[in-house]
Amino acid sequence: MRVLVIGSGGREHALCWSIAASPLLTKLWCAPGNPGIAAVATCIPIGAMDIAALVAFARDNAIDLVVPGPEAPLVAGIADAMEAAGIPCCGPTQAAAQLEGSKTFTKEICDAAGIPTARWERFEDVAAARAFVRRRGAPLVVKADGLAAGKGVVVALTEDAALAAIDAMMDARIFGESGAAVVIEECLTGDEVSMFALCDGTHAVPLGSAQDHKRVGDGDTGPNTGGMGCYAPTPMFGADLEQAAMDRIIRPTLAEMARRGAPFRGILYAGLMLTADGPKLIEFNARFGDPECQVLLLRLRSDLLPALLAACDGELAHFDLRWHGGAAIGVVMAARGYPDAPERGSEIRGLAAAEAMPGVQVFHAGTVADADGRIRAAGGRVLTVCATGATLPAARDAAYAAVDAIDWPEGFCRRDIGHRALAR
Protein backbone atom coordinates (compact mmCIF):
# COMPACT_ATOMS: atom_id res chain seq x y z
CA MET A 1 0.00 0.00 0.00
CA ARG A 2 1.11 3.50 -0.85
CA VAL A 3 0.05 6.01 1.77
CA LEU A 4 0.14 9.82 1.97
CA VAL A 5 -0.17 11.51 5.36
CA ILE A 6 -0.95 15.24 5.37
CA GLY A 7 0.38 17.63 8.00
CA SER A 8 3.57 18.50 9.82
CA GLY A 9 2.98 18.21 13.57
CA GLY A 10 3.54 15.71 16.34
CA ARG A 11 0.21 14.10 15.50
CA GLU A 12 1.30 13.47 11.92
CA HIS A 13 4.68 12.17 13.10
CA ALA A 14 2.84 9.65 15.28
CA LEU A 15 0.51 8.69 12.41
CA CYS A 16 3.51 8.15 10.13
CA TRP A 17 5.40 6.22 12.81
CA SER A 18 2.41 3.92 13.34
CA ILE A 19 1.63 3.44 9.63
CA ALA A 20 5.33 2.82 8.88
CA ALA A 21 5.17 -0.24 11.15
CA SER A 22 2.44 -1.87 9.05
CA PRO A 23 3.44 -4.93 7.03
CA LEU A 24 0.88 -3.76 4.45
CA LEU A 25 2.85 -0.59 3.70
CA THR A 26 5.05 -0.37 0.60
CA LYS A 27 5.78 3.37 0.64
CA LEU A 28 4.89 6.30 2.86
CA TRP A 29 4.91 10.01 2.02
CA CYS A 30 4.09 12.99 4.18
CA ALA A 31 3.19 16.48 2.97
CA PRO A 32 4.90 18.60 4.13
CA GLY A 33 6.20 16.60 7.10
CA ASN A 34 9.08 17.61 9.40
CA PRO A 35 12.59 16.36 10.21
CA GLY A 36 11.27 13.71 12.62
CA ILE A 37 8.79 12.42 10.05
CA ALA A 38 11.61 12.27 7.48
CA ALA A 39 13.03 9.29 9.40
CA VAL A 40 9.97 7.15 8.56
CA ALA A 41 8.44 8.76 5.44
CA THR A 42 9.44 10.68 2.34
CA CYS A 43 8.55 14.31 2.98
CA ILE A 44 7.27 16.30 0.02
CA PRO A 45 7.17 20.10 -0.04
CA ILE A 46 3.44 20.54 -0.54
CA GLY A 47 1.51 22.49 2.07
CA ALA A 48 -1.42 20.86 3.88
CA MET A 49 -3.82 23.42 2.36
CA ASP A 50 -2.65 23.05 -1.24
CA ILE A 51 -5.44 20.64 -2.07
CA ALA A 52 -5.04 20.73 -5.85
CA ALA A 53 -1.34 19.89 -5.59
CA LEU A 54 -2.02 17.12 -3.04
CA VAL A 55 -4.64 15.51 -5.30
CA ALA A 56 -2.24 15.72 -8.27
CA PHE A 57 0.55 14.16 -6.21
CA ALA A 58 -1.74 11.37 -4.98
CA ARG A 59 -2.91 10.64 -8.52
CA ASP A 60 0.58 10.74 -10.05
CA ASN A 61 1.97 8.47 -7.36
CA ALA A 62 -0.88 5.94 -7.29
CA ILE A 63 -1.59 6.60 -3.62
CA ASP A 64 -3.93 3.98 -2.10
CA LEU A 65 -4.83 5.93 1.02
CA VAL A 66 -4.64 9.58 2.11
CA VAL A 67 -4.64 10.33 5.85
CA PRO A 68 -5.13 14.02 6.68
CA GLY A 69 -3.98 15.01 10.17
CA PRO A 70 -5.18 18.59 10.77
CA GLU A 71 -8.69 20.01 10.55
CA ALA A 72 -8.06 22.89 8.14
CA PRO A 73 -7.71 20.81 4.94
CA LEU A 74 -10.73 18.71 5.99
CA VAL A 75 -12.86 21.79 6.51
CA ALA A 76 -11.56 23.04 3.15
CA GLY A 77 -12.78 19.85 1.44
CA ILE A 78 -9.71 17.66 0.93
CA ALA A 79 -11.70 14.45 1.40
CA ASP A 80 -14.21 15.55 -1.25
CA ALA A 81 -11.41 16.41 -3.66
CA MET A 82 -9.66 13.06 -3.12
CA GLU A 83 -12.95 11.19 -3.44
CA ALA A 84 -13.70 12.99 -6.72
CA ALA A 85 -10.30 11.80 -7.96
CA GLY A 86 -11.07 8.23 -6.86
CA ILE A 87 -8.48 8.24 -4.06
CA PRO A 88 -9.52 6.81 -0.67
CA CYS A 89 -9.16 9.41 2.08
CA CYS A 90 -9.59 8.61 5.77
CA GLY A 91 -11.23 11.85 6.80
CA PRO A 92 -14.63 13.51 6.71
CA THR A 93 -16.02 15.41 3.74
CA GLN A 94 -16.42 19.16 4.05
CA ALA A 95 -20.07 18.66 4.95
CA ALA A 96 -19.20 16.19 7.73
CA ALA A 97 -16.24 18.27 8.96
CA GLN A 98 -18.74 20.94 9.98
CA LEU A 99 -18.85 19.01 13.25
CA GLU A 100 -15.58 20.80 13.93
CA GLY A 101 -15.89 23.83 11.68
CA SER A 102 -19.13 25.18 13.11
CA LYS A 103 -20.13 25.11 16.77
CA THR A 104 -23.73 25.90 15.83
CA PHE A 105 -23.88 22.94 13.47
CA THR A 106 -22.73 20.58 16.24
CA LYS A 107 -25.25 22.01 18.68
CA GLU A 108 -28.03 21.49 16.12
CA ILE A 109 -26.94 17.88 15.64
CA CYS A 110 -27.01 17.43 19.43
CA ASP A 111 -30.51 18.85 19.69
CA ALA A 112 -31.79 16.77 16.76
CA ALA A 113 -30.31 13.52 18.10
CA GLY A 114 -30.89 14.10 21.82
CA ILE A 115 -27.17 14.13 22.62
CA PRO A 116 -26.30 15.37 26.12
CA THR A 117 -24.55 18.76 25.93
CA ALA A 118 -24.58 22.21 27.58
CA ARG A 119 -27.65 24.40 26.91
CA TRP A 120 -26.79 27.03 24.35
CA GLU A 121 -27.83 30.06 22.32
CA ARG A 122 -26.29 31.64 19.24
CA PHE A 123 -25.98 35.37 18.62
CA GLU A 124 -25.08 37.38 15.55
CA ASP A 125 -25.87 40.64 17.26
CA VAL A 126 -23.55 42.10 19.91
CA ALA A 127 -26.30 43.88 21.83
CA ALA A 128 -28.42 40.72 22.02
CA ALA A 129 -25.43 38.69 23.22
CA ARG A 130 -24.63 41.27 25.90
CA ALA A 131 -28.26 41.39 27.04
CA PHE A 132 -28.34 37.59 27.32
CA VAL A 133 -25.25 37.62 29.55
CA ARG A 134 -26.79 40.27 31.83
CA ARG A 135 -30.00 38.25 32.05
CA ARG A 136 -28.33 34.91 32.76
CA GLY A 137 -25.36 35.97 34.89
CA ALA A 138 -22.07 34.11 35.26
CA PRO A 139 -20.60 31.56 34.90
CA LEU A 140 -21.07 31.24 31.14
CA VAL A 141 -18.95 30.02 28.27
CA VAL A 142 -18.53 32.29 25.23
CA LYS A 143 -17.37 30.72 21.96
CA ALA A 144 -16.53 32.15 18.56
CA ASP A 145 -18.72 30.20 16.13
CA GLY A 146 -16.00 29.44 13.55
CA LEU A 147 -12.50 27.96 13.70
CA ALA A 148 -10.15 29.86 16.00
CA ALA A 149 -7.15 27.52 16.29
CA GLY A 150 -8.51 26.09 19.54
CA LYS A 151 -8.48 29.51 21.18
CA GLY A 152 -11.98 30.83 20.55
CA VAL A 153 -13.46 29.75 23.90
CA VAL A 154 -13.72 31.84 27.07
CA VAL A 155 -14.98 30.25 30.28
CA ALA A 156 -16.26 33.41 31.93
CA LEU A 157 -16.56 33.19 35.69
CA THR A 158 -17.90 36.76 35.93
CA GLU A 159 -20.39 38.75 33.90
CA ASP A 160 -17.67 41.28 33.02
CA ALA A 161 -15.44 38.55 31.63
CA ALA A 162 -18.29 37.28 29.45
CA LEU A 163 -19.03 40.78 28.16
CA ALA A 164 -15.35 41.39 27.44
CA ALA A 165 -15.17 38.13 25.48
CA ILE A 166 -18.19 39.12 23.39
CA ASP A 167 -16.62 42.51 22.62
CA ALA A 168 -13.28 40.96 21.70
CA MET A 169 -14.82 38.33 19.40
CA MET A 170 -17.69 40.26 17.81
CA ASP A 171 -16.46 43.88 17.82
CA ALA A 172 -12.66 43.69 17.78
CA ARG A 173 -12.82 40.45 15.70
CA ILE A 174 -9.73 39.04 17.35
CA PHE A 175 -10.51 35.75 15.56
CA GLY A 176 -11.53 37.45 12.33
CA GLU A 177 -14.76 36.28 10.70
CA SER A 178 -14.93 33.32 13.13
CA GLY A 179 -16.31 35.87 15.59
CA ALA A 180 -19.15 37.07 13.35
CA ALA A 181 -21.37 34.93 15.57
CA VAL A 182 -20.91 33.61 19.09
CA VAL A 183 -22.42 30.68 20.93
CA ILE A 184 -23.04 31.24 24.64
CA GLU A 185 -23.34 28.10 26.75
CA GLU A 186 -24.21 26.87 30.19
CA CYS A 187 -20.97 26.19 32.11
CA LEU A 188 -20.54 22.47 32.83
CA THR A 189 -18.44 21.15 35.69
CA GLY A 190 -16.64 17.85 36.15
CA ASP A 191 -13.56 16.03 34.88
CA GLU A 192 -12.76 16.69 31.25
CA VAL A 193 -11.62 13.89 28.95
CA SER A 194 -11.21 13.51 25.21
CA MET A 195 -12.46 10.36 23.55
CA PHE A 196 -11.76 9.25 20.02
CA ALA A 197 -13.62 6.95 17.66
CA LEU A 198 -12.75 5.70 14.21
CA CYS A 199 -15.88 6.00 12.05
CA ASP A 200 -16.92 4.59 8.69
CA GLY A 201 -20.07 6.65 8.21
CA THR A 202 -22.25 4.12 10.03
CA HIS A 203 -20.15 2.26 12.58
CA ALA A 204 -17.65 3.45 15.15
CA VAL A 205 -14.76 1.75 16.94
CA PRO A 206 -13.39 3.38 20.10
CA LEU A 207 -9.78 4.57 19.87
CA GLY A 208 -9.52 5.27 23.58
CA SER A 209 -9.51 8.36 25.72
CA ALA A 210 -6.90 10.78 26.99
CA GLN A 211 -6.75 13.81 29.21
CA ASP A 212 -5.10 16.87 27.73
CA HIS A 213 -3.59 19.80 29.67
CA LYS A 214 -4.60 22.91 27.78
CA ARG A 215 -3.14 25.68 29.95
CA VAL A 216 0.47 26.59 29.35
CA GLY A 217 1.57 26.52 33.01
CA ASP A 218 1.83 24.02 35.85
CA GLY A 219 -1.30 23.73 37.97
CA ASP A 220 -3.42 24.64 34.93
CA THR A 221 -2.43 28.30 34.92
CA GLY A 222 -1.81 30.81 32.14
CA PRO A 223 -3.27 31.03 28.66
CA ASN A 224 -4.87 28.19 26.70
CA THR A 225 -2.72 26.32 24.21
CA GLY A 226 -3.22 23.57 21.66
CA GLY A 227 -2.35 21.14 24.47
CA MET A 228 0.77 20.83 26.63
CA GLY A 229 0.63 17.10 27.30
CA CYS A 230 -1.67 14.21 27.97
CA TYR A 231 -1.85 10.67 29.23
CA ALA A 232 -3.89 7.54 28.63
CA PRO A 233 -5.80 5.61 29.76
CA THR A 234 -7.92 7.94 31.87
CA PRO A 235 -8.93 6.38 35.21
CA MET A 236 -11.97 8.68 35.56
CA PHE A 237 -13.40 7.38 32.26
CA GLY A 238 -13.74 3.62 32.64
CA ALA A 239 -15.30 1.07 30.29
CA ASP A 240 -18.85 1.82 31.49
CA LEU A 241 -18.56 5.54 30.79
CA GLU A 242 -16.89 4.89 27.44
CA GLN A 243 -19.78 2.61 26.53
CA ALA A 244 -22.27 5.28 27.62
CA ALA A 245 -20.50 7.90 25.51
CA MET A 246 -20.41 5.58 22.47
CA ASP A 247 -24.14 4.83 22.85
CA ARG A 248 -25.39 8.31 23.75
CA ILE A 249 -22.98 10.59 21.88
CA ILE A 250 -20.90 8.96 19.13
CA ARG A 251 -23.44 6.56 17.56
CA PRO A 252 -26.40 9.01 17.60
CA THR A 253 -24.13 11.59 15.95
CA LEU A 254 -23.22 9.16 13.17
CA ALA A 255 -26.87 8.27 12.67
CA GLU A 256 -27.91 11.92 12.50
CA MET A 257 -25.08 12.81 10.10
CA ALA A 258 -25.98 9.90 7.83
CA ARG A 259 -29.65 10.92 7.96
CA ARG A 260 -28.60 14.40 6.77
CA GLY A 261 -26.66 12.92 3.87
CA ALA A 262 -23.27 13.82 5.39
CA PRO A 263 -21.97 10.52 6.82
CA PHE A 264 -18.90 10.98 9.00
CA ARG A 265 -15.83 8.98 8.02
CA GLY A 266 -12.54 9.34 9.81
CA ILE A 267 -11.61 10.12 13.37
CA LEU A 268 -14.23 11.72 15.54
CA TYR A 269 -12.85 13.45 18.62
CA ALA A 270 -15.35 14.17 21.37
CA GLY A 271 -14.38 16.57 24.13
CA LEU A 272 -16.45 15.43 27.11
CA MET A 273 -17.29 16.80 30.52
CA LEU A 274 -17.95 13.99 33.00
CA THR A 275 -20.77 15.66 34.89
CA ALA A 276 -22.82 14.30 37.77
CA ASP A 277 -25.44 13.44 35.11
CA GLY A 278 -22.99 11.46 32.97
CA PRO A 279 -20.75 12.40 30.04
CA LYS A 280 -21.82 15.53 28.16
CA LEU A 281 -20.40 16.72 24.87
CA ILE A 282 -18.34 19.92 24.97
CA GLU A 283 -17.25 19.87 21.37
CA PHE A 284 -16.42 17.66 18.42
CA ASN A 285 -13.32 17.74 16.33
CA ALA A 286 -13.12 15.99 12.98
CA ARG A 287 -9.59 14.64 13.47
CA PHE A 288 -7.19 13.19 15.99
CA GLY A 289 -6.08 15.41 18.86
CA ASP A 290 -2.53 16.63 19.16
CA PRO A 291 -0.87 15.45 21.48
CA GLU A 292 -3.59 12.85 22.16
CA CYS A 293 -2.84 11.00 18.92
CA GLN A 294 0.79 10.46 19.91
CA VAL A 295 -0.18 8.91 23.25
CA LEU A 296 -3.07 6.79 21.98
CA LEU A 297 -1.09 5.34 19.09
CA LEU A 298 1.70 4.32 21.48
CA ARG A 299 -0.85 2.05 23.16
CA LEU A 300 -2.20 0.56 19.92
CA ARG A 301 -1.20 -3.07 19.46
CA SER A 302 -3.18 -3.65 16.23
CA ASP A 303 -2.04 -2.55 12.80
CA LEU A 304 -3.45 0.96 12.22
CA LEU A 305 -3.45 0.78 8.43
CA PRO A 306 -6.20 -1.84 7.90
CA ALA A 307 -8.36 0.02 10.42
CA LEU A 308 -8.02 3.28 8.46
CA LEU A 309 -8.84 1.42 5.24
CA ALA A 310 -11.88 -0.23 6.79
CA ALA A 311 -13.10 3.23 7.85
CA CYS A 312 -12.85 4.39 4.21
CA ASP A 313 -14.61 1.26 2.95
CA GLY A 314 -17.52 1.29 5.42
CA GLU A 315 -16.29 -1.98 6.95
CA LEU A 316 -15.81 -1.20 10.61
CA ALA A 317 -18.89 -3.14 11.80
CA HIS A 318 -16.90 -6.08 13.16
CA PHE A 319 -13.54 -4.44 13.50
CA ASP A 320 -11.75 -4.79 16.81
CA LEU A 321 -8.63 -2.95 17.88
CA ARG A 322 -6.26 -4.37 20.45
CA TRP A 323 -4.32 -2.24 22.90
CA HIS A 324 -1.24 -2.60 25.05
CA GLY A 325 -1.71 -2.61 28.82
CA GLY A 326 -0.03 -0.03 30.99
CA ALA A 327 0.00 3.71 30.48
CA ALA A 328 1.36 6.23 28.02
CA ILE A 329 2.14 9.89 28.50
CA GLY A 330 3.21 12.74 26.23
CA VAL A 331 4.93 15.91 27.43
CA VAL A 332 4.96 18.80 24.98
CA MET A 333 8.18 20.81 24.80
CA ALA A 334 7.40 24.29 23.50
CA ALA A 335 9.58 27.20 22.47
CA ARG A 336 9.97 29.99 25.02
CA GLY A 337 7.22 32.55 24.46
CA TYR A 338 4.57 30.00 23.44
CA PRO A 339 1.62 30.44 22.97
CA ASP A 340 1.83 34.19 22.29
CA ALA A 341 5.20 34.68 20.57
CA PRO A 342 7.34 31.53 20.42
CA GLU A 343 11.03 32.18 19.74
CA ARG A 344 12.35 30.47 16.67
CA GLY A 345 15.73 29.21 15.60
CA SER A 346 17.26 27.80 18.79
CA GLU A 347 19.16 24.52 18.46
CA ILE A 348 17.85 21.33 20.08
CA ARG A 349 20.49 18.80 21.16
CA GLY A 350 20.33 15.44 22.86
CA LEU A 351 17.42 14.03 20.88
CA ALA A 352 19.22 10.77 20.11
CA ALA A 353 20.02 10.22 23.79
CA ALA A 354 16.38 10.80 24.74
CA GLU A 355 15.09 8.51 22.01
CA ALA A 356 17.42 5.72 23.12
CA MET A 357 15.83 5.58 26.58
CA PRO A 358 13.57 2.57 27.23
CA GLY A 359 9.90 3.08 26.37
CA VAL A 360 10.56 6.58 25.00
CA GLN A 361 9.39 7.99 21.68
CA VAL A 362 10.02 11.61 20.68
CA PHE A 363 7.68 13.04 18.08
CA HIS A 364 8.64 16.20 16.21
CA ALA A 365 6.25 19.09 15.58
CA GLY A 366 7.70 22.56 15.01
CA THR A 367 11.24 21.58 14.05
CA VAL A 368 13.46 22.22 11.04
CA ALA A 369 16.83 20.78 10.11
CA ASP A 370 19.38 23.44 9.14
CA ALA A 371 21.98 23.09 6.39
CA ASP A 372 24.28 21.22 8.78
CA GLY A 373 21.54 18.81 9.84
CA ARG A 374 21.09 20.43 13.25
CA ILE A 375 17.53 20.41 14.57
CA ARG A 376 16.14 23.85 15.39
CA ALA A 377 12.87 25.15 16.83
CA ALA A 378 10.49 26.45 14.17
CA GLY A 379 7.14 26.64 15.88
CA GLY A 380 5.28 26.92 19.18
CA ARG A 381 4.89 23.30 20.14
CA VAL A 382 8.18 21.78 19.05
CA LEU A 383 8.39 18.20 20.41
CA THR A 384 6.10 15.69 22.10
CA VAL A 385 8.26 13.58 24.38
CA CYS A 386 6.32 10.37 24.98
CA ALA A 387 6.85 7.29 27.08
CA THR A 388 5.03 4.12 27.97
CA GLY A 389 5.24 2.30 31.29
CA ALA A 390 3.56 -0.41 33.33
CA THR A 391 1.89 2.33 35.37
CA LEU A 392 1.25 6.03 34.87
CA PRO A 393 3.94 7.05 37.39
CA ALA A 394 6.45 4.84 35.56
CA ALA A 395 5.50 6.34 32.19
CA ARG A 396 5.67 9.84 33.66
CA ASP A 397 9.13 9.26 35.15
CA ALA A 398 10.41 7.86 31.83
CA ALA A 399 9.02 10.80 29.85
CA TYR A 400 10.52 13.42 32.17
CA ALA A 401 13.86 11.59 32.20
CA ALA A 402 13.81 11.89 28.40
CA VAL A 403 12.84 15.58 28.63
CA ASP A 404 15.84 16.11 30.90
CA ALA A 405 18.11 14.37 28.40
CA ILE A 406 17.15 16.92 25.75
CA ASP A 407 19.52 19.87 25.74
CA TRP A 408 17.37 22.84 24.76
CA PRO A 409 17.58 25.78 27.17
CA GLU A 410 15.21 27.84 25.01
CA GLY A 411 12.41 25.26 25.41
CA PHE A 412 10.06 24.57 28.29
CA CYS A 413 7.40 22.07 29.32
CA ARG A 414 4.85 21.54 32.05
CA ARG A 415 6.19 19.40 34.87
CA ASP A 416 2.82 18.11 36.06
CA ILE A 417 1.38 16.18 33.11
CA GLY A 418 -0.94 13.51 34.48
CA HIS A 419 -1.50 15.30 37.78
CA ARG A 420 -5.23 14.67 37.93
CA ALA A 421 -4.82 10.92 37.55
CA LEU A 422 -1.72 10.76 39.76
CA ALA A 423 -3.57 12.53 42.59
CA ARG A 424 -6.37 9.96 42.66
The residue ranges that bind ligand AMP (CB under 6 A) are 118, 141, 150, 153, 155, 185-188, 192, 214, 271, 282-283
Q: How far apart are CA 285 and CA 293, in angstroms?
A: 13
Cβ proximity to ligand GLY, 376 vs 414, nearer residue: 414
For 95, phi then psi, to 5°, come to: -65, -40
Question: What residues pair up with 272 in beta bridges, in sequence order?
Answer: 193, 281
Q: How far apart are CA 273 and CA 343, in angstroms?
A: 34
For 44, phi then psi, to 5°, come to: -120, 140
Cβ proximity to ligand GLY, 88 vs 91, nearer residue: 91
Q: Which positions lie near ligand GLY, rule CB under 6 A?
A: 150, 212, 226-227, 285, 289-290, 292
Cβ proximity to ligand AMP, 293 vs 300, nearer residue: 293
Q: Among ligand AMP, ligand GLY, none, what does residue 244 contact (CB within 5–8 Å per kind)? A: none
Q: Among ligand AMP, ligand GLY, none, what does residue 311 contact (CB within 5–8 Å per kind)? A: none
For 418, phi then psi, to 5°, come to: 90, 5
Q: Among ligand AMP, ligand GLY, none, what does residue 141 contact (CB within 5–8 Å per kind)? A: ligand AMP
Shortest Cβ 140–ligand AMP spacing (Å): 9
Q: Among ligand GLY, ligand AMP, none, what does residue 227 contact (CB within 5–8 Å per kind)? A: ligand GLY
CA 183 to chain centre: 21
Q: Among ligand AMP, ligand GLY, none, what does residue 190 contact (CB within 5–8 Å per kind)? A: none
Q: Which of 321, 89, 298 is nearest to 205 (CA)?
A: 321
Q: Among ligand GLY, ligand AMP, none, what does residue 419 contact (CB within 5–8 Å per kind)? A: none
Q: What stretch of H or E contains 324?
A: none
Cβ 294 vs Cβ 308: under 8 Å:
no
Cβ proximity to ligand AMP, 154 vs 375, nearer residue: 154
Shortest Cβ 336–ligand AMP spacing (Å): 24
Tell me which residue has its CB nearest to ligand GLY.
227
Q: How far apart are CA 156 and CA 166, in angstroms?
A: 10
Cβ 88 vs Cβ 65: under 8 Å:
yes
